[in-house]
């Protein structure tokens, strides 16, 4: 069986009670701060910002990779343009722009 006798003095017991009340008060204050609407909103905003930053970081990496791949197709290892690949793409682009311009004129006239 547990020993139920207490050898502490009344002053020691009162000091222990005061110390426990202080710890309890701090704990309640901390809980109050955590459940305060401003704290909840601030935490939610921080989490959303972190998710956006992470998503933007991933998107940046993917775009950078895609740009590097496209650049690799149109520029050789020394950095010189590959005209045999650039000229056909440029001609197709000019053709598409020309068709769009003709289509716009036909709609107006």
Give the 3-state secondary structure of residue 75.
strand
Helix runs in 1-109, H state only: 10-35, 37-74, 83-108
CA dist., res. 72 & res. 30, Å (int) = 56
Residue 64 contacts residue 71 (beta carbons within 8 Å): no
pTM for the model: 0.45
Residue 69 contacts residue 75 (beta carbons within 8 Å): no
pLDDT at 5 over 70: no
CA dist., res. 32 & res. 35, Å (int) = 5
pLDDT at 96 over 60: yes
The per-residue pLDDT for 71 is: 87
pLDDT at 100 over 80: yes
Condensed to tens digits (0 to 9), the pLDDT of residues 75-94 reads: 888 889 989 989 999 999 99
**What is the average pLDDT value for the chain, to the nearest integer?**
90
Q: Which residue has the higher pLDDT, 109 or 43?
A: 43
């Amino acid at each position: 069986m547990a020993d139920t006798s207490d050898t502490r003095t009344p002053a020691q017991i009162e000091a222990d009670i005061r110390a426990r009340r202080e710890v309890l008060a701090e704990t309640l204050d901390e809980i109050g701060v955590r459940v305060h609407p401003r704290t909840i909103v601030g935490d939610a905003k921080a989490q959303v910002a972190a998710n956006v930053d992470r998503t933007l970081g991933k998107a940046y990496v993917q775009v950078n990779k895609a740009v590097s791949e496209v650049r690799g197709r149109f520029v050789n290892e020394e950095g010189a343009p590959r005209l045999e690949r650039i000229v056909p793409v440029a001609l197709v682009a000019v053709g598409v722009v020309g068709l769009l311009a003709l289509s716009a004129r036909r709609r107006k006239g």
